[in-house]
Amino acid sequence: MQSIRNIAIIAHVDHGKTTLVDKIIHASKLFRENQESGDLILDNNDLERERGITILSKNVSVVYNGVKINIIDTPGHADFGGEVERVLKMADGVLLLVDAFEGPMPQTRFVLSKALALGLTPIVVVNKVDKENCRPDEVHEQVFDLMFNLDATEEQLNFETIYGSSKNGWMSEDWQQPTDNITPLLDKIVEVIPEAPSPEGTPQFQVTSLDYSSFVGRIAIGRVYQGSIEEGKSMGLTKADGSMQRVRIKELQVFEGLGRKKVESVKAGDLCAIVGLDNFEIGDTLTDFENPQPLERLSIDEPTMNMLFTINNSPGFGSEGKFVTSRHLRDRLMKETEKNLALRVEPTDSEDKFLVYGRGILHLSVLIETMRREGYELMVGQPQVIYKEIDGQKCEPIETLVVDVPENVAGKVIELATQKKGELKIMEPKGDQQHLEFEIPSRGLIGLRNNVLTATGGEAVMNHRFLDYQPFKGEIKGRNNGSLISMENGPGTPYSIDKLQDRGVFFVPPGENLYTGQVIGEHSRENDLVVNVQKGKQLTNMRASGSDNNSKIAPPRVFSLEESMEYIQKDEYLEITPSSIRMRKIFLDEHTRMKMAKTL
């Protein structure tokens, strides 16, 4: 029987996981010599390619010297920790990839702590040793200290280290002696990672992720932990509530290269995909119906943030998207909860409003971006953190915030973070940068990135991860400036926008169609201001008609989706359609707004 190694690749964002997987795929000759493959082979969804991050975990399998290596590429963002936690259950070892200059980062710590707790064998790969001012030996020491702090066992602390550059396609046991291929890494995987055990006995298969095909429906993906499972066999599926249903396996597939191959049976230790199971959930166990032995269900960290999702009721609703009704919105959100374990959806007392709970702004924004690309129109409210009562005390989620910033602007970053109730824990030089670590409430992070990037001229590198729940830190002042709000419907004129430039910064260019109640800029003072930007110049005689074109208007300020989610206030919504993102007041009419403000 073929020997199997199951290995997950974990690393911080941008440290080169997906590039390394590309090189392993090329090294094992999965592509024909003349076949075009491109880069980032596994990041196959548009959003992943655009952002340069991995969002969904992927499986790929290569055969090296007669040994089958199943590789699981995992996301590096803590916001997608739900993905990471469940796929690590399928692995027997991990490749921990760290950048030779940056060293272990906060989100490396998050995923590594999960892997060590599961008892997985680590191999450390110090990547990008070809970079200038890299420090592989120091980074090796830092990884050891990190594992020690995470209570790694003696065996785990005695880890093997490989150095190299996945971009240039080489790995070596000594970083000063480059090779011309990555086989030293593959040899080390076969030598160090334990062979997947294949115990006999009652079959056990746990669903850890799912795929969907328009031909066969939902496909369960997971690992066979014990015994073997066969095509056409009748088995029992154990559910979350302890019940059990009889199911039949229509088709079995194992991973081969980038695709899957149909097989008749799968032995313990291998990963496989099963077609034909109905209404299964992630965490269910497939076992013998007469003599069931269910595995312990997957536990996932709780969400830390929620947002209100509602249908779009702005004046131009339905003109840009295909799916606009509350039924469309409900069905899409429920479908997402099936595969996105860290996401929860709760109905509210209104038919067309839903509370969506997630791991953070990025986690929720990826869902929103995916939905708008599919043709949905919706509105979302300001992100809110989730408070808990612990021992009779109100507690809130606290995060570790790490900022690397040029020395001359470190003071500004410390000032901004402390205004948001951040506590400076570590400050040390790192190359020509200053390395700062804070403990800060999750709600303090909302809107902080914009301010830090503005204050540092875009040179700060920020990362954060969830730490734990701590007692409430007190009120945090929100945005200092009010909004500029459109008074009328219709396109804004250059003449009016020019005349109002001293009142604040505009978010919309002249000529864009606006509606009453739309937020079109940031006021220079604390209060909101309703302005008329539709008014044209009164022409007294024909000679003056050309002067409208002489207006010198500053370019509008453009927000990304995450930035606008962090920017809006409690009384504002973000209107999201396939072609635009607009900010607006919840109550478009000024008199209604004033009345509601008095009742609050």
Helix (H) or strand (E) segment spanning residue 19 = helix 17-27
What Å distances lie between residue 387 and 307, 360, 442, 475, CA to CA? 14, 14, 11, 13
Q: Is 384 helix (H, G, I), strand (E, B) or coil?
A: strand
Our CA dihedral for 98, 102, 106, 111, rounded to 10 degrees, sits at -10
Judge whether 485 and 517 are in contact, CB under 8 Å: yes
Judge whether 92 and 110 are in contact, CB under 8 Å: no
C-alpha–C-alpha distance, residues 15 and 36, integer Å: 25
Instruction: Determine the distance from the C-alpha atom of residue 435 to the mean position of all C-alpha atoms in its chain, rounded to a whole number.
Output: 24
Residue 447: CB atoms within 10 A of its CB come to: 20
Q: Which two tokens stand for residue 400?
A: 């570790």
CB proximity list for 468: less than 8 A, separation 6 or greater: 397, 398
| DSSP string covering 235-289 | EEEE-TTS-EEEEE--EEEEEEBTEEEEESEEETT-EEEEE---S--TT-EEE-S
Instruction: Determine the distance from the C-alpha atom of residue 427 to the mean position of all C-alpha atoms in its chain, rounded to a whole number.
Output: 27
Judge whether 440 and 528 are in contact, CB under 8 Å: no
C-alpha–C-alpha distance, residues 306 and 345, integer Å: 9
Name the percent of the chain in helix, strand, coil, to the closest 5: 25, 35, 40
Helix (H) or strand (E) segment spanning residue 92 = none
| DSSP string covering 288-334 | -SSS--PPPPP--PPP-EEEEEE---STTTTSS-SB-SHHHHHHHHH
C-alpha–C-alpha distance, residues 553 and 387, integer Å: 44
From first CA to last CA, the distance across the chain in angstroms is 70
93-99 and 121-127 beta bridge pairing: parallel
In one-letter notation, the amino acid at residue 249 is: I
Judge whether 271 and 194 are in contact, CB under 8 Å: no
Closest CA to 471 of 390, 528, 407: 390
Judge whether 73 and 166 are in contact, CB under 8 Å: no
Task: Tell me which residue has tokens 């607006």.
Answer: 584
CB proximity list for 36: less than 8 A, separation 6 or greater: none
Judge whether 425 and 437 are in contact, CB under 8 Å: yes
Q: Which two tokens stand for residue 505?
A: 């910064």
**Which residues are annotated binding-site positions for GTP?**
14-19, 127-130
285-287 and 378-380 beta bridge pairing: unpaired
The residue count of the chain comes to: 600
Instruction: For the chain, count helices (H), then strands (E).
Output: 15, 35
**Which residues are annotated binding-site positions?**
14-19, 127-130
In one-letter notation, the amino acid at residue 478 is: G
